[in-house]
Structure 1
């Protein structure tokens, strides 16, 4: 609790100095514990604290309580999902579907169940829930049971800690201060990770804010990655030379031990 107040105190001071809002009666002000992650040889994951407060021009309205949703989305890419089937005793790829876009990482934390705090219309508009984030347009024409492929993708990436759904994990104090902790796994992809924060009432989004976390390789990992992608021929030659040297060193070592 002390940590939360220590982090949100600057937000509260900033809110007091902000000019009066001219639009919505409630607006969101947010912050991140860090906006950059460096992937090194000993990187085993990290924790991102996302916190914020609500700026008001009037007392909280009567009726539905305030709700908060926080999402963290990694770089998206198209995918081809294939299903293996046993034919004549051999497992081979059979049916396949193409996913237009699927995030490499996606975490969502909320103050309550989606069915209670988010309307289907706003879910479609802002693409908040995991089924809406995965773009699977037109896959029904590729396979009769195409929804099973999407469910398989979700299951696989959840097992890999790439997708997380944390219902009720956003802490909200007096409908003003909130925080959410998001775990980033060790198998992150490079890129800009988009953090979206929503405040809602009655299932409707009343304000939102976007932040970004830069994830980059650092040190030797970055140098090897850049070399492999920018000069693949040189990278291949160096890899072959290192493999040949390792084989020669192992052989020489065994000959020495036999003497």
Structure 2
């Protein structure tokens, strides 16, 4: 028994030492993103350094993984099938929690800088960041719905995997660019930075990016939720005015 304990301690010591020897010092180009009427996306630069109190541990090459995650909400994914020449919604699965935006930027191939065990533990890759537990009994291939959600959001740039996007200088300085698309959900975006050795996480840093609507966008957003009746009436007046104006211009052009 004592021999087994000693073996376990010897295996865990390199990881515990490396976690103490290497820390992350981080900066963001901006910690706040303002969504305005002409907002067409943004780019956040993540840059930092590895702080060490001793020479780098000799347990494998250094890897860096950066993730940025938007607010997670339930998502209903439907499957369409063509019946009698018409596309109809058939089966549906509700994904328990899926980030509205998710980006993974790494210093190398993800399967090299991160083991599956560490991915499962920290939920770093896109499939691990999505939580889907239950599904209707008659649906046997519920994972296909999650895969479809990932494909759709990847095409719209809401989900991103950029392997090799983190630039490392002398295993000490690192930098990465994270692209935020125009269609952003308001809320707190969690940014996580991981240092890995031999695919195992040895250090982690967490921070938050504040994404908020400002100006006219903020006012309309608040109005739609705090006074839905006034918002609806105002939208109706604007629609009528726009229709009348277009009709008047069309009549003038015909004369």
TM-score bracket, normalised by the shorter chain, equals: 0.7 to 0.9
Per-residue CA deviations over 1:171-228 (Å, capped at 9, x if unaligned) read 1111111111111111111111110000011121111011111111121111111111
Q: What is residue 12 of structure 2 aligned with on the other side?
A: none
Per-residue CA deviations over 1:145-196 (Å, capped at 9, x if unaligned) read 2222111111110111101101111111111111111111111111111100
Q: What is residue 240 of structure 1 aligned with on the other side?
A: 236
Answer with 24-33 or 114-123: which moved more. 114-123
Structure 1 residue 243: Cα displacement: 2.0
Pick closer, same or farther for the CA change 1:236–1:176 going to 2, 3 Å. same
Q: What is residue 223 of structure 1 aligned with on the other side?
A: 219
Q: Give the Cα–Cα distance (whole angstroms) in 1 for the partners of residues 208 and 252 of structure 2.
A: 56
Q: What is residue 115 of structure 1 aligned with on the other side?
A: 111
Question: What TM-score, normalized to structure 1?
Answer: 0.86
Q: What is residue 196 of structure 2 aligned with on the other side?
A: 200
Q: Count the aligned residue pairs.
A: 238
Q: What is residue 10 of structure 1 aligned with on the other side?
A: none
- 2:62 corresponds, among 62, 66, 70, to 66
The 5 Å alignment of 1:61-140 reads: 61-139=57-135
Q: Give the Cα–Cα distance (whole angstroms) in 2 for the partners of residues 30 and 142 of structure 1.
A: 48
Q: Give the Cα–Cα distance (whole angstroms) in 2 for the partners of residues 107 and 124 of structure 1.
A: 17
Q: What is residue 13 of structure 1 aligned with on the other side?
A: none
1:209 aligns with 2:219: no
Task: For residue 124 of structure 2, give the secondary structure of its aligned residue in structure 1.
Answer: coil
Structure 1 residue 255: Cα displacement: 4.8
1:24 aligns with 2:20: yes
Q: Give the Cα–Cα distance (whole angstroms) in 1 for the partners of residues 68 and 151 of structure 2.
A: 18
Question: What TM-score, normalized to structure 2?
Answer: 0.88
Task: For residue 185 of structure 2, give the secondary structure of its aligned residue in structure 1.
Answer: coil
Give RMSD over aligned pairs. 1.8
Gaps of 5+ in 2: 1-16
Q: Give the Cα–Cα distance (whole angstroms) in 1 for the partners of residues 152 and 67 of structure 2.
A: 19
Per-residue CA deviations over 1:121-145 (Å, capped at 9, x if unaligned) read 2111110011100111133845222
Task: For residue 83 of structure 1, give the secondary structure of its aligned residue in structure 2.
Answer: strand
Answer with 178-187 or 146-155: which moved more. 146-155
Task: For residue 20 of structure 2, give the secondary structure of its aligned residue in structure 1.
Answer: coil
Q: Give the Cα–Cα distance (whole angstroms) in 2 for the partners of residues 258 and 128 of structure 1.
A: 61
Q: What is residue 154 of structure 1 aligned with on the other side?
A: 150
Assess if the C-alpha contact under 8 Å between 1:96 and 1:142 holds in 2: no
Gaps of 5+ in 1: 1-20
Answer with 42-51 or 139-148: which moved more. 139-148
Q: Give the Cα–Cα distance (whole angstroms) in 2 for the partners of residues 61 and 114 of structure 1.
A: 21
Structure 1 residue 254: Cα displacement: 4.6
